[in-house]
Chains A and B, each alone.
Chain A
Amino acid sequence: GDSVTQMEGPVTLSEEAFLTINCTYTATGYPSLFWYVQYPGEGLQLLLKATKADDKGSNKGFEATYRKETTSFHLEKGSVQVSDSAVYFCALRSSGGGADGLTFGKGTHLIIQP
């Protein structure tokens, strides 16, 4: 079945540092890929998405590129802020009939120190 693997952390960085959170996946067909963010006490918010190979999703300074050859969708940001502290989830949804909703990674807890 489908699966998503990401580092769980916590990942602790200083403000203005470069961020990479790795995400790799296993899926049948050609899934759509997503990054969601969850702030304390809140639900999930979609951060960015990519629906086909080589697509780049971007939002709020975050970027991720759909790499079919390496089955990866790594999240990057050039300069993190304290307000970026949250849990980040990589997710996929397979295309075609019988899709089983979103398949999530375990989440990466990101802590940004001032």
Chain B
Amino acid sequence: KAGVTQTPRYLIKTRGQQVTLSCSPISGHRSVSWYQQTPGQGLQFLFEYFSETQRNKGNFPGRFSGRQFSNSRSEMNVSTLELGDSALYLCASSLLAGDQNEQFFGPGTRLTVL
């Protein structure tokens, strides 16, 4: 079974631009979560989607948004990029939402903001 895939793997943008990252979950998984990983803040939860609805959201500004499509694929968007948005963005999928459901992580998208 194919794992979680994320595209693109690497991205370079400049301040003020916007960016869209894509995540395809494992086949049959309906929940997708997004995390930001930086050296300073570590891994932080962005949001979770289940059946096309945002279920939970972390403590990030409104510039960070996401959506999920009917095939469970998900995108996250960051508008008006700032230098501090440079990070590894990880997507994770699970069969269902909820605390006991194992999350499978993709390889991440490395975003560099110049």
Nearest CB in chain B: distance from A59 CB, A: 12
A102 touches B45 (CB 8 A): yes
B86 interface hit (Cβ, 8 Å): no
Instruction: Report the contact-size class of chain A (Cβ under 8 Å from the partner).
Output: 20 to 34
Nearest CB in chain A: distance from B33 CB, A: 5
A65 interface hit (Cβ, 8 Å): no
Out of A46, A89, A101, name the residue touching B45 (CB < 8 Å).
A101
Q: How far is the CA of A46 from the CA of B56 in the complex (A)?
A: 21
Chain B positions within 8 Å of A31 at CB level: 99
Q: Secondary structure of the A side of the interface?
A: loop
Chain A positions within 8 Å of B44 at CB level: 104
B61 interface hit (Cβ, 8 Å): no
Additional A-B contact list (19), CB under 8 Å, known A31-B99, A101-B45:
A32-B100, A42-B107, A43-B108, A44-B105, A45-B105, A46-B103, A51-B100, A93-B99, A98-B56, A99-B99, A100-B56, A101-B46, A101-B48, A102-B33, A102-B35, A102-B45, A102-B103, A103-B45, A107-B43
A→B interface (CB under 8 Å):
31-32, 36, 41-46, 49, 51, 89, 91, 93-96, 98-107
